[in-house]
């Protein structure tokens, strides 16, 4: 079986809204509901673990769980002070029968079943994968005083997205390794890298954006509007 840990515990201060961005309405329903629905409808996903801010349990139940009646959400748990801790909390309650675990940002509501499928198959074959897309612009690597050190080839630089998918044993070991060595990573693939394991990139989608600012919400609404007209 395959499990998905969906992270919705962040405060999203850059959104400049009184309400956690996960519950802001995108078109006809909350952002997090769009995200969960994709995983709920994907046949490769057997269970969903939703990680939320412990202070928002009632609002999550009222606006999400009671309204949409998701069948694959097996656990609703509280997140930690950092993203990494929230993932670790999720890993602690993953069904032991699970073979592949996907970690996804709740604020990426435009994820697709095709991306999820690529991640699952990639993790089955390689152990650890991350969705991502090649950069479109030229990147400069700078010194601390902002002088250019070098310009990497564009084909060698990808933007990392989620989902990231892992064989259960690998991601659990990576988090244990991070705790032991006091490593704080910005994503879970980074923890696997620190452990000395390889992470393979699989094709994501340029539309699979993370909603962080009000401008991102406008962009997501435009993308959804365009897709519905197709």
Range of the domain at 110: 2-168+198-229
Residues 6+ apart with CB under 8 A from 222: none
179 in any annotated domain? no
**Banded pLDDT at 19 (limits 50, 70, 90):** confident
Q: From CA 129, how far away is CA 192, in angstroms rounded?
A: 10
Q: Using DSSP, state whether 216 is helix, strand or coil.
A: helix
Question: Is 159 part of a structural domain of the chain?
Answer: yes
Structural domains of the chain, count: 1
**Could you give the percent of the chain with pLDDT greater than 70?**
95
29 burial via Cβ count (<10 Å: 0-12, 13-18, 19+): middle
Encode pLDDT of 154-206 as tens digits. Answer: 999 999 999 999 999 999 999 999 999 999 999 999 999 999 999 999 999 99
User: Per the domain annotation, does 185 fall within a domain?
Assistant: no
Q: If pLDDT is split at 50, 70 and 90, which confidence band does 117 have?
A: very high
Q: What is the pLDDT of residue 226?
A: 83
Quick check: 41 and 113 in contact, CB under 8 A? yes
Q: Is residue 176 part of a domain?
A: no
- Residue 34 is part of a domain; what is its CATH number? 3.90.550.10
- Find the mean pLDDT for residues 106-129: 98
Model pTM? 0.94
Asked if 81 contacts 99 with a C-beta cutoff of 8 angstroms, the reply is no
Tell me whether residue 175 is in a domain: no
Q: What is the pLDDT of residues 130-152, one digit of tens each?
A: 999 999 999 999 999 999 999 99
The backbone torsions φ and ψ at residue 200, rounded to the nearest 5 degrees and listed phi first, read -100, 140
pLDDT digits (tens, 9 = 90+) for 59-114: 999 999 999 999 999 999 999 989 999 999 999 999 999 999 999 999 999 999 99
Q: Is residue 187 part of a domain?
A: no
Write down the pLDDT at residue 151.
Answer: 97
Q: What is the mean pLDDT of residues 29-47?
A: 97
Neighbours of 13 (CB within 10 A): 9
In a domain, 79, yes or no: yes
173 falls within a domain = no
Q: Which residues contact 152 (CB under 8 A, 6 or more apart)?
A: 139, 141
Comparison of pLDDT for 123 and 225, the residue scoring more: 123
């Amino acid at each position: 079986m395959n499990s998905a840990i969906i992270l919705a515990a962040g405060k999203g201060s850059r959104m400049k809204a009184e309400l956690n961005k996960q519950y802001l309405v995108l078109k006809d329903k909350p952002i997090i509901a769009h995200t969960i629905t994709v995983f709920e409808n994907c046949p490769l996903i057997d269970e969903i673990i939703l990680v939320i801010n412990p202070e928002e349990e009632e609002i999550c139940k009222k606006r999400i769980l009671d309204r949409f009646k998701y069948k694959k959400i097996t656990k609703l748990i509280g997140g930690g002070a950092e993203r990494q801790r929230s993932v670790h909390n999720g890993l602690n309650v993953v069904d032991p029968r699970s073979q592949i675990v996907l970690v996804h940002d709740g604020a990426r509501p435009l994820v697709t079943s095709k991306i999820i499928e690529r991640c699952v198959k990639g993790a089955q074959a390689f152990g650890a994968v991350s969705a991502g897309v090649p950069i479109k612009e030229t990147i400069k690597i700078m010194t601390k005083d902002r002088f250019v050190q070098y310009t990497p080839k564009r084909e060698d630089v990808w933007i990392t997205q989620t989902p990231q998918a892992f064989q259960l044993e690998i991601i659990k070991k990576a988090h244990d390794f991070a705790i032991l060595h006091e490593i704080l990573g910005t994503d879970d693939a980074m923890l696997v890298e620190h452990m000395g394991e390889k992470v393979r990139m699989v094709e994501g989608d340029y539309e699979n954006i993370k909603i962080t600012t009000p401008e991102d919400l406008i962009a997501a609404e435009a993308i959804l509007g365009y897709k519905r007209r197709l």
